[in-house]
């Protein structure tokens, strides 16, 4: 069944997804890519047009705005990120709307060999008659997290157009660089000014998440010994061979993303680059508990030490840096934002479901920095690849979730 929000959500998502906003982990700037400003400025303009207050883009690339309160209540924040993941092509996205889904395979105009099927994406089988949005086959869609952007924008437009709806002040933030772990600048909590907040960056309707991975990033730099290959015997120490040995020495059957699930953590090699003389490997380390995360970092350091000991002419440096921590550590001390969201969810006729996120959100960092920020569903599925999809009707449920949260805040 179509809702009052379906057309607006469809138009917004198609418009936003067509804008390339891929982030770049190698860039030192904030945002990491200039192209993210293309959508940030669009959102700044649209927020101004619908009547939001205090609309601005910060020096660190976050769009901020206020929906003035119509009743007493805490200041509630709502966030989504504009960037898309750098792991897959996001240039030239062509969103496709598949109306009234018939239950069969969805095909892709630009990649005829691809199939989106209920057999491999079982939740799709529950979406009969709904409107499904995908890309055209050669890019990701970018519903992660432009679905969240569209949901918040639609809810904001509705609240501003209907001032009779009671709600406290609402603060909106659209962040860059979430996909590379740099979405929350240290200045954001103060500039945001929310008592608590919600990221709209989740999956199935009903999901309200207050637990995420804890995360570190690791860089292993290997310096070998360069020599002309024609006269290399006894001289050359190939950095790429040592890099491969580091990767191969790590557990392959127990600690990789493809072999873990649920509450199991992992060590994931994300990329390797370099030459025979010098090489660099990047890893992400994930675990739900601090001790488990520290153990994975220690394991990586031991492997590097063992490989280095076998080739004393080489140098292997392992640098581990914190990224974010499990937001449960702080939210479990005050579950008010979570319980408010659960109540708002039940008003939709959905039973709230809280699962541990096998990833992180801007809410992970914000919660750690003093702004409790659980995560709310958007409907997005199969993210970070060409089979990414979202149901317009699921997004409409998320809009009503946002409205229910706003109204519930006025009564607290």
Task: Establish whether 280 is an annotated binding residue.
Answer: no
Q: Which of 131, 178, 368, 388 is catalytic?
A: 178
The candidate with the shortest Cα–Cα distance to 263, out of 283, 299, 289, 284, is 289
What is the spatial distance between Cα 339 and Cα 97, in angstroms, rounded to a whole number?
35
Q: Which conformational region is residue 92 in: left (phi greater than 0), alpha (psi within -120 to 50 degrees), or beta? A: left
Catalytic residue among 8, 20, 83, 368: 83
Active site residue 83: yes
241 is in an annotated binding site: no
Element (H, E) at 2: none
CB proximity list for 74: less than 8 A, separation 6 or greater: 168, 195, 196, 409, 412
Q: Who contacts 17 (Cβ-Cβ below 8 Å, separation ≥6)?
A: 93, 95, 133, 135, 141, 142, 143, 146
DSSP state of 42: H
**Among the listed residues 85, 319, 75, the one whose alpha carbon sits nearest the alpha carbon of residue 197:** 75
Phi, psi of 169, deg, nearest 5 = -60, 135
287 in a labelled binding site: no
Alpha-carbon gap, residue 153 to 157, rounded angstroms: 6
Contact 142, 16 (CB under 8 A): yes
CA nearest 88: which of 122, 150, 135, 149? Answer: 135
Task: Find out whether 228 is annotated in a ligand binding site.
Answer: no
Question: Distance between CA atoms of 350 and 52, rounded to whole angstroms?
Answer: 30
Annotated binding-site residue? 179: yes
Give the separation between CA 40 and CA 16, rounded to whole angstroms: 10
Active site residues: 83, 178
Residue positions in the annotated binding site?
81, 144, 179, 201, 384
* Binding residue numbers for Zn(2+): 81, 144, 179, 201, 384
């Amino acid at each position: 069944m179509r809702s009052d929000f379906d057309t607006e959500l469809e138009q917004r998502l198609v418009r936003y997804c067509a804008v390339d906003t891929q982030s770049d982990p190698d860039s030192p700037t904030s945002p990491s890519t200039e192209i993210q400003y293309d959508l940030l400025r669009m959102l700044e303009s649209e927020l101004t047009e619908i009547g939001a207050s205090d609309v601005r883009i910060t020096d660190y690339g976050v769009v901020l705005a206020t929906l003035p309160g119509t009743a007493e209540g805490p200041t509630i924040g709502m966030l989504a990120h504009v960037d898309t993941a750098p792991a897959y092509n996001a240039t030239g996205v062509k969103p496709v709307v598949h109306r009234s889904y018939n239950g069969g395979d969805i095909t892709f105009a630009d990649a005829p060999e691809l199939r989106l099927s209920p057999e491999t994406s079982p939740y799709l089988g529950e979406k009969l008659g709904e409107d499904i949005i995908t890309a055209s086959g050669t890019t990701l869609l970018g519903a992660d997290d432009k679905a969240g952007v569209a949901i918040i924008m639609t809810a904001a437009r509705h609240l501003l157009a209907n001032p009779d709806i009671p709600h406290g002040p609402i603060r909106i933030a659209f962040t860059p660089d979430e996909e590379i772990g740099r979405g929350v600048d240290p200045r954001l909590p103060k500039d945001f000014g929310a008592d608590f907040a919600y990221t709209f960056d989740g999956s199935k309707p009903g999901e309200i998440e207050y637990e995420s991975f804890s995360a570190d990033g690791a860089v292993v730099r290997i310096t070998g010994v360069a020599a002309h290959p024609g006269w290399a015997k006894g001289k050359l120490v190939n950095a790429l061979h040592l890099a491969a040995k580091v990767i191969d020495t790590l557990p392959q059957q127990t600690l990789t993303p493809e072999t873990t699930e649920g509450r199991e953590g992992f060590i994931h090699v994300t990329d390797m680059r370099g030459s025979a003389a010098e090489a660099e490997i990047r890893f992400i380390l994930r675990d739900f508990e601090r001790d488990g995360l520290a153990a994975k970092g220690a394991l990586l350091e031991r492997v590097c030490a063992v490989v280095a000991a076998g080739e004393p002419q080489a140098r292997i440096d392992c640098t581990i840096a914190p990224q974010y921590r499990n937001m449960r550590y702080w939210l479990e001390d005050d579950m008010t934002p979570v319980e408010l969201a659960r109540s708002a969810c039940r008003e939709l006729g959905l039973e709230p479901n809280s699962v541990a996120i096998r990833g992180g959100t801007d809410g992970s960092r914000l919660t750690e920095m003093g702004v409790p920020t659980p995560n709310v569903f958007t409907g997005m599925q199969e993210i970070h690849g060409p089979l990414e999809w979202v149901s317009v009707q699921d997004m409409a449920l998320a809009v009503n979730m946002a409205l229910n949260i706003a109204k519930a805040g006025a009564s607290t």
